[in-house]
Amino acid sequence: MSKEQSITYIAQPGGQLSGEFRVPGDKSISHRSIMLGSLSEGTITISGFLQGEDSLATLKAFRAMGVQISGPDEEGKVVINGVGMHGLRAPHGSLDLGNSGTSMRLLTGLLSSQGFDLTLAGDHSLSSRPMKRVTDPVVQMGAQIESQEKGTAPLKICSNDNTQLKGIDYTLPMASAQVKSCILLAGLYAEGQTCVTEPAPTRDHTERMLQGFGYQLDIQKLDSQKSKICLQGGGKLTACDIDVPSDISSAAFFMVGASISKGSDLTLNHVGINPTRIGIINILKLMGADITLSNEKEVGGEPVADIRIRYAPLKGIHIPEEQVPLAIDEFPAISIAAACAQGQTILTGAEELRVKESDRIQAMVDGMQILGIDCEGTTDGMIINGGSEFTSGTVDSLGDHRIAMSFAMASLCAKGAITIKDCANVNTSFPDFIGLAHSCGLNVTSSNEQEA
């Protein structure tokens, strides 16, 4: 029987965060830079590419389809020789996307009309996540996709040489950047116009990067929340270099850690502050956090800034639902901030958290209850009664990198050590999290074991 490595974190109580550094590159932008760069005409250079397992899964998938890609080197430099919109070749065997939901959901659209059969596969966690919300609209466009009985991966995309995809006008049932991106990427190969209407703002990295590669989009603001994004199929992508900002989702753990630990004063450099991603900043400020931005500029169409966070007492709030899509990946960390805040924090409108790498609502509630926090889960969020210190205890991250890193930050306000199980997947988004955390004052170590 094969053995897999199991990693456990042990986070000692107390401490404060200080220093100045840069967290790894943005995962969302790293994925898309490989996808669109591979389909462009010309050679592109990517700087600051995230060398985590998720984004490397995307890179390996395009190599398997015949794209020449060199790197990444130690600095995160990647060079891609683009093959154009119709230059991909059938891979030998399935494309193994590991734990990366972004890879699978976006590639479902992008590869739905390539003229060859292929299978998108992943690990046990990815194979349990819902995929019908991306396969259903792409099938409406004319793609032939076979999934498992419950609509999960592996996904088999069948060649449709004789049937070109047809553009559709699709309204998202819930705000999701991955579903929006999947449909737009399928629309690149569709006859006519493809439009996606989103009920609330979601991250717009796909739209920004498509425009950066010279693809024309029509983006209409329908009201304060709704937008409609349209494109015509049959265009081309022109190569351009990409500088990947630091990932605000990775910065979020340190933003929360510095906000809750007395005496902290931390600066995170060159962080992406895309307006569709700054929910973490907005929510923490509403809770009373001391956060300032400086050195703001735009790099490759993406706004970046240095973010300084100093300790400040936090208060519980009812999180505005319009902020939820802007911070959907950051709620495990925000939950820790809420537990340390005075008063009650209520999260609603976040049902998507139940279908991430884990059921993040239940995982955080279970873990916080083990550590002595008064909280409960709801259908679409949670209620957290803050103001208590975390107790010592053992929590299970369920293989979810964001759960693991969030509970590591909880140790800053804990009475005793917190043991966090099943942390191997932290490498999917944050290589060397332990080393960087140590460098700024978090006392967390890891132990490796072999499990049958």
Judge whether 215 and 237 are in contact, CB under 8 Å: yes
Cis ω for the linkage preceding 303 (within 30 of 0): no
Catalytic annotation present for 329: yes
Strand locations in 302-401, DSSP E?
A: 302-310, 344-347, 374-378, 381-385, 393-396
The sign of the CA dihedral 210, 138, 358, 60 is negative
SS3 168: coil
Which residue of the set 329, 396, 400, 422 is catalytic? 329
SS3 249: helix
Judge whether 143 and 165 are in contact, CB under 8 Å: yes
Q: Which of 193, 312, 170, 329 is nearest to 251 (CA)?
A: 329
In a 10 Å sphere around its CB, with 0-12 CB exposed, 13-18 middle and 19+ buried, how is residue 222 labelled?
exposed
Distance of CA 156 to the CA centre of its chain: 24
> Could you tell me the two tokens for 413?
């306000």
SS3 335: helix
Separation in Å, CA 26 to CA 101, 181, 402: 15, 16, 14
Q: What are phi and psi of 363, to 5 degrees?
A: -60, -45
* Residue that is written with structure tokens 């059938």 in the block: 90
Q: What is the number of other CB atoms lying within 10 angstroms of the CB of residue 137?
A: 23
Phi-psi region at 19: left, alpha or beta (left = phi > 0; alpha = psi -120 to 50): left
The alpha-helical segments, DSSP class H, found in 213-306 are 248-260, 279-286
Q: What is the number of other CB atoms lying within 10 angstroms of the CB of residue 332?
A: 28
Which residues are known catalytic residues?
Answer: 329
